[in-house]
Amino acid sequence: MTDQASAELKFRDPSRARELTRALAHVVRSLGRAPVSVMHVCGSHEQAIAKFGLRAAFPRELDVIMGPGCPVCITDVPEVDEAVVLAKQGVRIATYGDMLRVPGTVESLADTRAKGARVDVVYSVAHAVELARQSTDDVVFFASGFETTAVATAAVLLRDPPSNFSVLSAHKYIPPVMEIVAEMPETRVEGFLAAGHAATITGWGIFEPFVERHRLPVVVAGFEPLDILAGLVSLVDVIREGVPRVVNAYPRCVTREGNRAAQEKLWSVFRPVGGRWRGIAHVPNGNLRLKDEWGHFDARKRFDIDLSSLWDHAPATLTQECICGDIMAGISSPSDCRLFGIECVPEKPVGACMVSSEGTCKIWHQYGGHPDRMGVLA
Amino acid sequence: MCLGVPGRIVEIHGFAATVDFFGVRRTVRLDVVDEPVSAGDYILNHVGFAIRRIPEEEIGETLALYEQLLREAESDIMAADVRGEIEAGRKDTGGSE
């Protein structure tokens, strides 16, 4: 990045930035202990924090951890395997670009495509539907993403897609995994920073049951450096007060109710079911699957997907050393990984966190490996 | 990605619209937008769907972040994500890679 561009962005309101940085240091230090650990669950938040060197502006006592906020990264190996098996069976697969290189047990979709399978990268599920319309062959959309993205998948199913279109859902639902992180015995997380644009759809009220159950605060924040600083000030302030609640630090975009029409579409097509998130845990209600009445568009019901045909092959040994799961659970950071930046690099990723532009490892690798040690512009 | 990209509606046709994203025109679905929109309005786009109408008073502030990001180097992944969202599915490339 150019110094000028970052300076302009960071200091569009320099006095406000100074004020927030001071306020953050003050509120963190008023707790009188260290570290104070908070977690965000959004790849765009981590990108902004790393890109603008915000960790260097945080007080030393504050630890801001990226949790399981990368939908590509938490797509489980058997989910990738299902898509790989379908592609090997000759079914045409359409999926978002980041999904291509996510490792399965034996191979990724990119590997399968290199051997001649038909795998299309689409930007939108709407394009996958168009591919199906232009053909008589079956087109399976391998769907990844959190609830915000699942809304788009729901919307196309509600618009009468062609009968040769179906969905292999690897969609995930964020609130249940926050519960898992909160319940992990080794967790240090004292509060969550929630992603502003996802809350545009879900509303901030979605976090109230979580706060009630786990007595941990949640603050909804935007993506500009100043939004993130303001969100963190608010979050640590609620931790200091000791009365956990949801705070909307992004009121220009987010309401309590959110986008009701979008939520209705989401829940008319999907239901939450338990399932594994790669490397983390079984997450009750963490997976979004098509409801039974949408079974005719469910690739798992339409096709016989025989995973055992893949599983005779042993996984590569390097993959077993990958600590992506611990990183996404907030227990470890990329610098704790023996493979990070050595055997595992963006050009040759071992784990999913190095594949996606929203993965912690890829973000840290891009922005210098140790974002907390990056210099900030004074 | 969570960030989404803002664009200006050029024309509405049924439940989709032609939207201008920093000079690139794309089709965006309007199925899940939070309130009624018309030509000239700015929306926030996520995977080809408008998820939010951006109120007039916020347009300048919202666009500023993206204008900065688009001046960044090709290799910057945050900027690359934004460019990817803008370029992917542009009308003259037929919508997919």
Q: A184 vs chain B: nearest CA distance in angstroms?
A: 26
Query: Do the chains contact at A12 and B97, CB–CB below 8 Å?
Result: no
Q: A209 vs chain B: nearest CA distance in angstroms?
A: 23
Dump the DSSP string for A115-156. Answer: TT--EEEBSSHHHHHHHHHT-SS-EEEEE---HHHHHHHHHH
From chain A, the residues in CB contact with B44 under 8 A are 197, 200
Query: Do the chains contact at B31 and A253, CB–CB below 8 Å?
Result: no
Q: B11 vs chain A: nearest CA distance in angstroms?
A: 18
Q: How many CB atoms lie within 10 A of CB B3?
A: 26
Give the C-alpha separation, A106 to A86, whole Å: 14
pLDDT category, A317, cuts 50, 70, 90? Answer: low
Q: What pLDDT, in 10s, does the model give residues B62-92?
A: 888 888 888 887 788 888 888 888 877 665 4
Give the C-alpha separation, A293 to A312, whole Å: 34
What pLDDT is recorded for position B94? 39
What does pTM read for this prediction?
A: 0.91
Query: Do the chains contact at A151 and B32, CB–CB below 8 Å?
Result: yes
Q: How many CB atoms lie within 10 A of CB A273?
A: 14
Which helix (H) or strand (E) is A294 found in, with range? none
Q: What pLDDT, in 10s, does the model give residues A105-133?
A: 889 999 999 999 999 999 999 999 999 99
Q: What pLDDT, in 10s, does the model give residues A191-206?
A: 999 998 889 999 999 9
What pLDDT is recorded for position B92? 45
How many contacts (CB atoms, under 8 Å) link A and B?
140
What pLDDT is recorded for position B57? 87
Q: Name all domains of chain A by residue range, CATH numbers in brackets.
A: 12-71+180-248 (3.40.50.11750), 77-174+259-310 (3.40.50.11740), 317-367 (no CATH)
| Amino acid identity at A358 | E
Query: Do the chains contact at A125 and B31, CB–CB below 8 Å?
Result: no
Give the C-alpha separation, A349 to A355, whole Å: 6
Which A residues in the span 75-114 are in contact with B, Cβ-Cβ below 8 Å? 94, 96-97
Q: A32 vs chain B: nearest CA distance in angstroms?
A: 34
Dump the DSSP string for A204-265. Answer: GGGGHHHHHHH---EEEE-SSHHHHHHHHHHHHHHHHHT---EEES-TTT--SS--HHHHHH
Any CB–CB contact under 8 A between A377 and chain B?
no
